[in-house]
Amino acid sequence: MAWRGVVDEFRGRLSRLPADAPAITLLEGDTPLIPAPRLGARIGARLYLKFEGMNPTGSFKDRGMCVAVSGAVATGASAVVCASTGNTSASAAAYACRAGLRCGVVIPDGNIALGKLAQALIHGATVIPIEGNFDDALTIARKLGELESVALVNSVNPLRIEGQKTVAFEIIDALGRVPDVHVMPVGNAGNITAAWLGYTEAVEAYETAGLDGPDRPAMWGAQAAGAAPIVRGEAVASPQTIATAIRIGNPASWQGALDARDSSGGTIESVTDAEILAAYRLLADTEGVFCEPASAAGVALLLQKAGRGEVPADAVIVATLTGHGLKDPDRVVQEIAVPDAVAPDLEVVAERLGL
């Protein structure tokens, strides 16, 4: 049977979605779990990449946004609002237009990847850049969400978490077991909170009984070194990183991330921008998988920990790649020079190619 999207595929497990909610869907979910044997060999593990960049708007946000917007319709909202480092706004804009709702997005001026800004604009959202960072934008969006018939669709909306937890169900189905480790970037910390909820619910439903591997994975989170409030144990007033998606200094789901870390025997650590960019390039030029910089933070952490001998040998590890590389093409051409043009001449071209 054809895939129906997250709301209808998992409706029985989305307990917080009103039963009469319509399915607002772009057929999100069912993303590939791609084996990464070369990177896995470097790390000394059996590595799989859950490529959430293959969702309809190119990030994991769609998995939660479809549920949040379905819920907004069920409760009679006429508009959705969010703060965003880019991907949430792209997803909110697409699902809102699908549902016939207005969409307002508040973004940190100058710190949104161009692809994401383009998505919010083309889907007809009202885009409000502010002279502030994501944390300032979220403060405003939370207030807007208190207005009559306005739904806040950041991950402080429990329906976002409901949708995003389904990634754990898909991973268990695809592997036929629970992974030993699940690693991902951490920004506002909704995603690590949601994935952990998914694994917890899978255990409670006995879906993992009798399967190989642990009942639940160790949850490993990666923050950018210049935006690592959870690692430091205090909010960061002016977060800085090239990974703009996770340029967040005061995560809304901070406690959820600590619970996931501590209940799973996991860890949340920081990676430098240089480590993020190295992992970003390795993913693309050894495995053929192009994700955005923030998405590579989890793999950067794996490489860092492997260097310290902190990756259990032959562990089954899933790394979520949260967004597609095409979101942020500017980053590629900042890293790798675009070659100069040459004459349209076979010999010149062949010589350039070294052939």
Closer residue to ligand AN7 (CB): 51 or 169: 51
Alpha-carbon distance 65 to 89, whole Å? 10
With CB under 6 A as the contact rule, the residue among 25, 55, 304, 322 that binds ligand AN7 is: 322
Diameter over CA atoms, the chain:
68
User: Cβ 322 to ligand AN7, closest distance in Å?
Assistant: 3
Quick one: which of 16, 254, 10, 13 has its CA closest to 158? 16
Asked if 21 contacts 70 with a C-beta cutoff of 8 angstroms, the reply is: yes
The verdict on 187 binding ligand AN7 (CB under 6 A) reads: yes
Closer residue to ligand AN7 (CB): 36 or 248: 248
Strand ranges (DSSP E) for 36-118?
46-51, 79-83, 102-108
The verdict on 273 binding ligand AN7 (CB under 6 A) reads: no
Asked if 53 contacts 323 with a C-beta cutoff of 8 angstroms, the reply is: yes
Closer residue to ligand AN7 (CB): 214 or 325: 325
Interface of this chain with ligand AN7, residues 87 to 146, rule: CB under 6 A: 87-88
Q: What share of the chain is helix, strand, coil (3-state, %, to 5)?
A: 45, 15, 35
Pairing of strands 102-108, 126-130: parallel
Alpha-carbon distance 1 to 148, whole Å? 40
User: Cβ 87 to ligand AN7, closest distance in Å?
Assistant: 4
The verdict on 186 binding ligand AN7 (CB under 6 A) reads: yes
Binding mask 213-252 for ligand AN7 (x = CB under 6 A): --------------------------------xx------
Asked if 123 contacts 130 with a C-beta cutoff of 8 angstroms, the reply is: no
User: Cβ 343 to ligand AN7, closest distance in Å?
Assistant: 41
The verdict on 55 binding ligand AN7 (CB under 6 A) reads: no
The verdict on 318 binding ligand AN7 (CB under 6 A) reads: no
With CB under 6 A as the contact rule, the residue among 81, 103, 141, 189 that binds ligand AN7 is: 189
Query: What residues contact residue 187 under an 8 Å CB cut-off, 6+ apart?
Result: 85, 223, 227, 245, 246, 247, 248, 251, 294
Closer residue to ligand AN7 (CB): 86 or 214: 86
With CB under 6 A as the contact rule, the residue among 73, 219, 227, 294 that binds ligand AN7 is: 294
User: Cβ 190 to ligand AN7, closest distance in Å?
Assistant: 4
Asked if 66 contacts 4 with a C-beta cutoff of 8 angstroms, the reply is: no
Alpha-carbon distance 249 to 237, whole Å? 6
Binding mask 150-179 for ligand AN7 (x = CB under 6 A): -----x------------------------
Contact residues toward ligand AN7 (CB under 6 A) are 59, 84-88, 155, 185-191, 245-246, 292, 294-295, 322-323
